[in-house]
Structure 1
Amino acid sequence: MQSTRRIRRACKGACYVLPAMIATSWTVGAHAQAAAQQAGDQPIADIIVTAQRRAESVQNVPIAVSVLSNAALTASGATDSVALAGKVPSLSIPQNGAVQYFLRGVGTTGSSINSEQSVATYVDGVYIFSTWSAQVPLSSIERVEVLKGPQGTLFGRNTTGGVIQIVTRDPLADPTLQASVTYGNYDTTSASAYASTKLDDRLGVSLAVDFRNQGKGYGYNSVRKEDTMFRDDLSIQGKVVFEASENTKFTGFFWYDDGHTSGQNNQVMPGYRGLDGVLSNYGKYETKANTPDSLNYKSYLAYGRIDQKLGDFADLVSITSYRRVDTLYRLDQDATPATVINATLDIPFRNFSQELQLVSAADGPFTWLVGAYYFHSSAKYDPITIAGAAAGAAGVVRYYREQRTNSLAGFAQASYKITPDTTFTAGIRYTDETQKMPSGKTTLIGPDPNPTVLPFRPDTQDSSGWTWRLALDHHFTRDIMGYISYNRGLKSGGFPLVTAANLPGYSPEKLDAYEVGLKTQFLGGRVRINAAAYLYKFKDIQVTRITDGGNVVANAAAATMKGLDVDLDVKVSDRFNVYAAMGYLDGRYDDYKTAVFYIPRPTGGVTAVRDQDATGNRTIYSPKLSASGGMNYRIPTGSGDITLDGFVQFVDDQYVGPSNLFKLPAYATANASIGWTSANERFGIKLWARNITNSYYFVQVLESTPGIFRAPAPPRTWGVTLSTKM
């Protein structure tokens, strides 16, 4: 009954919101008309996406989707997929060793290896479980599709917040050879190359290599007298596509990623004392850890895909994948010169998946898709080692933990054209999932040659559940489409692994999303405005509490998020393009009387006060306003083209805990570049700068019992890039 009433309220709201959005779109389009009238006959290129597991124009998909092409990401100053923050409305990417995504206030706070993301990442339709190595370099990317809201039917694995789908280039496209070499400040050298060729009309291969070496960190550890805040990595991707016949296509893909960073680089928050009892006094990019923070990882991803046409009836798709990530993470958790909490995490991870899809081939009034998905993973700490005062009299504590997940899902989605302009879509998925903590131990290592082994209790739990999607879309004209949808998302539970205690598991979280959207094009397709308003009802939210030497995950709270996203693209002329995006978000806890508030102690460190009432407080990582915009201007000359690119972004304050005591402050940054490309487009040079105003902002603010910390984002960086293309 509650769901029925919510649907009625959402439909009633749509009667007011849709006309208002149509009126707004027409108004903006009218203001843009004077500039756009000078454009050539060519409209903005149509964007084809696979948000519904079939190729469709983004303007016809009844889902809020932000799409960024390789060219758009490059022009904005991005270097990999993590640079999406600020470019997509209401998307935040705090970094706590692992990469974490929050979309419209929904995300995962924990960085435990078994903490799957509420905003799931997919590469060519393959789910990427571990976020310790999820930064896909640009050279191999064709586009990035950000699907907002739960995608519980077709991308059902833990997508309460949304999906980031990365689509890599097709080697059967025109043969390409492009390469670049970059030198920037902080003695940073990087190089990338992408090559694809057709060995015959049906066989294509590609190879992408990306390398980065940052010779000097932009931070400095004044205790250890060494550079910090740097990242080095090597990424190699290969792809093979073989069209065995008109009906059969095979795709093989491999990705190797080898990375090394300086870890968290935390600073004790100004105005507070660390666990060493000293009042915080850090330079802008200074750290004072007594042991080096570092993150080293090697990851491997391989998938094989078979596309088989079954006549005019349907297409059969099989996707088989395997991923392995080996991580060694060292962390001075207290971030002070004192030897209090020094942690080393040895983290092996493995997962296998198999997906089958049967997709209707016809483009008639009725289209459908059915499928099945199997997933198995093993996430381990082998072990976590805690040294320092936090280990007590033992001197060293080691705990070994593992979670194994087995998941099997069946799903179906169908769309039916009620009229030539109106389509109804319905989808459903059931996931049967079991999680096991099969073995483990905690050892206390002291002067005694025989370590003390604490008892361990194996455990098993069920994270099964239903998810679904209902949507109705209508084309008011050829260029204006509106839709309304209701989606249920589910994120599976798990076990707290980053703790010496043997704790019970936490339950799945659930999200009901109601959305009304509008997709519009004006002036012959030279102005495009897409907007969506949404209401989320979130319950059983998985909350991570960071403790000395570990963290604990539990279920708590119900919350409501509501907001509006708008994307704008204008082709002012054949030489001049302008784009912008805006997100407004209001997220608040409806019922949260068991929150943990972190209260700094005058003597240093933090007291975690339990069972506090956070009802009415703002949800975490939910900026009220996020906005970005950019431009691209091309100037033809006798010797080639000069290109000017500019990009600005603003992200509002974001609270990092339910107490709303500490926040990630608002920030604004700007990137710019000027480049020249030869007349034959074979050679190019670009001068670029990121964060040109040298804004001082942070990639994270962290509440924990060892302290309240922050980690600075990079300062101004600049460089020159030489490129060639054949």
Structure 2
Amino acid sequence: MPALAQSPDAPAEALPTIPVAGEPAAAPSTAAPREESGALAEVIVTARKREERLQDVPVSVQAFSSEQLDARGVQSIRDLAEAVPGMQVTDLGGYNLIYLRGVGTDVFIPSAEPSIATYVDGVYFPSGHSLAQAFGAVERVEVLKGPQGTLFGRNSTGGAVSVWSKNPGQTPETSVQLSYGNYKDAQARVYTNLPLSNALAVSLSGFYNRRDSYYRVDNGSNEQLPPEIGRGGRLKIGVEFSEDLNLVVTGIYARQSGTSTTVSANVNPTPLLGITLPAEIRDYVTTANSEPSLSTITRALYGQLNWHLSGVDTKLLGSYYFVKAFDYVYDFDGTSQPIATYGADDEYQRFVTSELQFTSNADSWGSSWLKWVGGLYYLRSDGGYKPGYLRLLDAVQLPTTEQIGALPLGLGDLVLSLLGNSPIPQDLTFYFTGLLKTEAYSGYAQATASLTSWLDLTLGGRWQRESRKLVTSDVSDGNLNGGLTRLYSFPQEESTARNFSPKVSLDWRPAQDLLIYASFQQGFKSGTYNIINIFKAPTYVEPEKVTAYEVGLKSEWFNHSLRFNTALFENDIHNLQTGFMSFTSGGAINLENAGKARIRGLEVEALWQPLPELDPGLLLGGNLSWLHAVYLDYDDGRGFGELTGLAYKSDCSNPGSPACHPFSGNQIVRTPKLSSTLTLSQSFELGQGTLELAGDWYTNSGYYYLAQNTPDTFEPAYQIFNAHLSYLYQPYGLKLTVYGDNLGDERYNLAQFHTDFGREDSLAPPRTWGLRLNWDF
């Protein structure tokens, strides 16, 4: 069935481009299988929208199969950070903030979309709240490093993460996973594939996760934090209309509730606030008076119509994606005092996309030396807050109309007349309604020509036009009548940006199993508006552009028992988009451009089977990333004064003035200079099964959370050690695993949140352990 498993006439290399796809089932390589006893497993990736061996792709990619993800306990994008050096995933207010090779986004609002494009089955999932953060049952995950502007389009200036699930097929199969660990961590996952006829197949997957919070509340209220609960499902339907025409349709629904990183503790109050409030020094204890919470709902529907013709494969793609966050409460000051609370009653994003794609196949002209892909793409989206809020001084109750009217000497009548007889505010709560609409068009093409048997040239480019419109930006307060009184509205704003992102790559194969490549490419991140505006009008944030240069080597040695890959690169960033959280500088969140930045780095990856004959089950692996990431031109940024803790905006028009606080030369936020992973696994046959013992060690040199690079904004170096022991009983397809994560019980943060009130920390999970059962039949 071509829709479900590729037909002999369909090229195995033809794969969909964004935004949607039912990806063809991973086909085996067309090359002869290796027979050497020391051969490492082949890895098939789709970094160039074609199925290719990882070692044949002139792009920096790390790929993980479903078995590798399970073995390492990777359940979400957040967990990938320990497996991919150079990738940093922090969390803030329930948003996953992803940095890759020093490029990322540090703002947690819908209008500041990530710089690392995330896809599930080719569908663009741009929200940090979305289902893309929880993988469920998948076939593989690919992490593409560096700008991917030509094939992946907008908002991929740092790279892309592609999550692929299985397509329905003609082979019935079912997979069940159950696990239980400390903190009452219970997880269940099921996947099944059902062929209903020769022309119709259906697959269904679902998951349910529940875990108690790592934190406890100590604010005198006897409250308990809710558990983290996630559940969802995915339905895929594959239909074959003819040998050359087929359709795959997918529906996804997921819901998450709990606290995520809305729970935190103020560990370093500002000098003014610290006079009356002590720092919280206890691990996993919060004194927040506003009970933290966050719930999200994700819905997606997407489809791919495939039409195989002689000389070209045509795909028609379409998707609808919606994510909503509600019951969103974050204690903005992080203390037991009722000072400030940030939240949202309705925060959402909605995307509609379509694409027409053309791909060369085996019957195309020049197919022996030329491969190409191209298409047209359209996106429409809207999203924002309806509304969000910032509440100050919870305990302060403003006087009622009757109380004001009762003031003596006619003062009450005077005050009421000055207020224009409008409803009296109930408290000091500011409600902000900010909605942003986007419309984007693009066209793209990329071709690879084999100039000789050992030299390939790739040329590509993507042109795009995007318009952003701030349709609503209102500020209101809650009145005693139970409604909202609009205080003022900021004017609507609209902007249009055009961009062309080129790519050039030269691939040289001087010997078998040796690839040397050099590439030049650019990426484009959309300009936008801040949709949280309380005291100042929104301004347009210019698009971010990244120009990347890279040289790399991919190789295998010693009868395919050693795989060694390395890359040396430079990213030049213009108009780096960055954020700053402060109540006193215009509202809860500021969004601005940081001028120019530069990132230079080196990556090394190795996988070694040291004793292929004596001990073929022994594998050693290692990855390393070194980054030198600095701001080159950032003299007008925002920071907090070390003596007062109050926010400032640097003004270096007079370089010698006290108002000048240049950040040029400082290290880019959320970017460690050094991160590395070492892995070791030993497996051997035991009875009718296989026993495996494995461990991995991750180290991070530390990084800053604010561009001002002061000591209190630094996350110190930390190390994490994970291990597992598993036994696979072959006759029944049963695998039992005992696992332990963060066995050293290391203390490090998923988030530092710096505000006018101090530094709030959200700690990463402590030592966790459990038992996991997999059953495949």
Question: What is the TM-score normalised by the length of structure 1?
Answer: 0.90
Q: Is the 8 A contact 2:473 2:531 kept in 1?
A: no
Residue 67 of structure 2 aligns to a residue whose secondary structure is helix
Q: Is the 8 A contact 2:359 2:374 kept in 1?
A: yes
The aligned counterpart of 1:643 is: 692
Matched, 1:366 2:365: no
Q: Is the 8 A contact 1:218 1:230 kept in 2?
A: no
The aligned counterpart of 1:403 is: 436
What's the offset of the Cα at 1:683? 2.1
1:147-200: per-residue Cα shift (whole Å, max 9, x none)?
111111110111110011111123227432121221111112111111113234
Q: Is the 8 A contact 2:305 2:316 kept in 1?
A: yes
The aligned counterpart of 1:129 is: 126
Residue 463 of structure 1 aligns to a residue whose secondary structure is strand
The aligned counterpart of 1:323 is: 321
The aligned counterpart of 1:10 is: none
The aligned counterpart of 1:27 is: none
The aligned counterpart of 2:342 is: 343
Per mean C-alpha deviation after superposition, the further-off stretch among 139-148 and 272-281 is 272-281
The aligned counterpart of 1:15 is: none
Matched, 1:424 2:445: no
* Cα distance, 1:274–1:147 mapped onto 2, change above 3 Å: farther
Output the CA distance in 1 between the equivalents of 2:730 and 2:313. 43
Q: 2:476 aligns with which of 423, 429, 443?
A: 443
Output the CA distance in 1 between the equivalents of 2:476 and 2:88. 38
The aligned counterpart of 1:308 is: 307
Q: Which residue identity is paired with 1:686? A: T
Q: Is the 8 A contact 1:172 1:202 kept in 2?
A: no
Matched, 1:555 2:609: no
Map 1:219-368 → 2, pairs under 5 A: 219-223=215-219, 224-228=221-225, 230-263=227-260, 264-270=262-268, 272=270, 275=273, 277-311=276-310, 313-328=311-326, 329-345=328-344, 346-362=346-362, 363-368=367-372
1:242-267: per-residue Cα shift (whole Å, max 9, x none)?
33333223111122110012142222
Matched, 1:610 2:647: no
Matched, 1:479 2:522: no
Q: Structure 1: state its 5+ residue gaps.
A: 1-38
Map 1:25-424 → 2, pairs under 5 A: 41=37, 43-96=39-92, 97-172=94-169, 174-214=171-211, 216-223=212-219, 224-228=221-225, 230-263=227-260, 264-270=262-268, 272=270, 275=273, 277-311=276-310, 313-328=311-326, 329-345=328-344, 346-362=346-362, 363-389=367-393, 394=425, 395=427, 396-424=429-457
Residue 100 of structure 1 aligns to a residue whose secondary structure is strand
What's the offset of the Cα at 1:202? 4.4
* Cα distance, 1:719–1:401 mapped onto 2, change above 3 Å: same
1:71-126: per-residue Cα shift (whole Å, max 9, x none)?
11211222223210021120000111111110011001111012111111011221
What's the offset of the Cα at 1:225? 3.2
What's the offset of the Cα at 1:221? 1.1
Map 1:477-626 → 2, pairs under 5 A: 477-500=511-534, 501-548=536-583, 550-572=588-610, 573=612, 574-601=616-643, 606-611=646-651, 612-626=661-675
Q: Which residue identity is paired with 2:589? A: N
Residue 660 of structure 1 aligns to a residue whose secondary structure is coil
* Cα distance, 1:227–1:43 mapped onto 2, change above 3 Å: farther
Identical-residue share of aligned pairs (%) = 27
Matched, 1:467 2:505: no
Q: Which residue identity is paired with 1:563? A: G
1:433-467: per-residue Cα shift (whole Å, max 9, x none)?
10001223211334588824313201101132111
The aligned counterpart of 2:657 is: none
Per mean C-alpha deviation after superposition, the further-off stretch among 497-506 and 377-386 is 497-506
Output the CA distance in 2 between the equivalents of 1:626 and 1:384. 37
The aligned counterpart of 2:408 is: none
1:591-613: per-residue Cα shift (whole Å, max 9, x none)?
111121222555xx543343320
Output the CA distance in 2 between the equivalents of 1:288 and 1:427. 54
Q: Is the 8 A contact 2:265 2:280 kept in 1?
A: no
Output the CA distance in 2 between the equivalents of 1:436 and 1:53. 32
* Cα distance, 1:601–1:335 mapped onto 2, change above 3 Å: farther
Output the CA distance in 1 between the equivalents of 2:471 and 2:74. 42
Output the CA distance in 2 between the equivalents of 1:419 and 1:589. 42
Output the CA distance in 1 between the equivalents of 2:444 and 2:687. 57
Output the CA distance in 1 between the equivalents of 2:236 and 2:620. 33
The aligned counterpart of 1:8 is: none
1:680-720: per-residue Cα shift (whole Å, max 9, x none)?
14223221111111111111122233322221000001111
* Cα distance, 1:529–1:226 mapped onto 2, change above 3 Å: farther
Residue 593 of structure 1 aligns to a residue whose secondary structure is coil
* Cα distance, 1:106–1:442 mapped onto 2, change above 3 Å: same
Q: Is the 8 A contact 2:698 2:719 kept in 1?
A: yes
Output the CA distance in 1 between the equivalents of 2:684 and 2:579. 51
The aligned counterpart of 1:677 is: 728
Q: Is the 8 A contact 1:151 1:159 kept in 2?
A: yes
Q: Is the 8 A contact 1:518 1:531 kept in 2?
A: yes
Output the CA distance in 2 between the equivalents of 1:652 and 1:359. 44
Residue 46 of structure 1 aligns to a residue whose secondary structure is coil
Q: Is the 8 A contact 2:120 2:132 kept in 1?
A: no
Q: Which residue identity is paired with 1:321? A: S
* Cα distance, 1:439–1:568 mapped onto 2, change above 3 Å: same
1:477-535: per-residue Cα shift (whole Å, max 9, x none)?
12000100011111001110122233121110111100001111112322211111101
Q: Which residue identity is paired with 1:249? A: N
Output the CA distance in 1 between the equivalents of 2:271 and 2:740. 36
Output the CA distance in 1 between the equivalents of 2:59 and 2:131. 24
Q: Which residue identity is paired with 1:494? A: T
Q: Structure 2: state its 5+ residue gaps.
A: 1-34, 399-424, 652-660
Residue 82 of structure 1 aligns to a residue whose secondary structure is helix
Residue 55 of structure 2 aligns to a residue whose secondary structure is helix
Q: Is the 8 A contact 1:275 1:340 kept in 2?
A: no
1:41-95: per-residue Cα shift (whole Å, max 9, x none)?
2622221211111111121111111111111121122222321002112000011
What's the offset of the Cα at 1:229? 8.4
Q: Which residue identity is paired with 2:391? A: A
Residue 721 of structure 1 aligns to a residue whose secondary structure is strand
Q: Is the 8 A contact 1:98 1:133 kept in 2?
A: no
1:539-566: per-residue Cα shift (whole Å, max 9, x none)?
1011111122521111122111000111
* Cα distance, 1:484–1:45 mapped onto 2, change above 3 Å: same
Output the CA distance in 2 between the equivalents of 1:123 and 1:386. 34
Q: Which residue identity is paired with 2:266? A: V
Q: Is the 8 A contact 1:407 1:431 kept in 2?
A: yes
Output the CA distance in 1 between the equivalents of 2:186 and 2:564. 39
RMSD over aligned Cα, in angstroms? 2.1
* Cα distance, 1:542–1:649 mapped onto 2, change above 3 Å: same
- Flag the structure with larger Rg: 2
The aligned counterpart of 2:751 is: 700
Q: Is the 8 A contact 2:118 2:132 kept in 1?
A: no
Per mean C-alpha deviation after superposition, the further-off stretch among 349-358 and 271-280 is 271-280
Q: Is the 8 A contact 1:275 1:334 kept in 2?
A: no
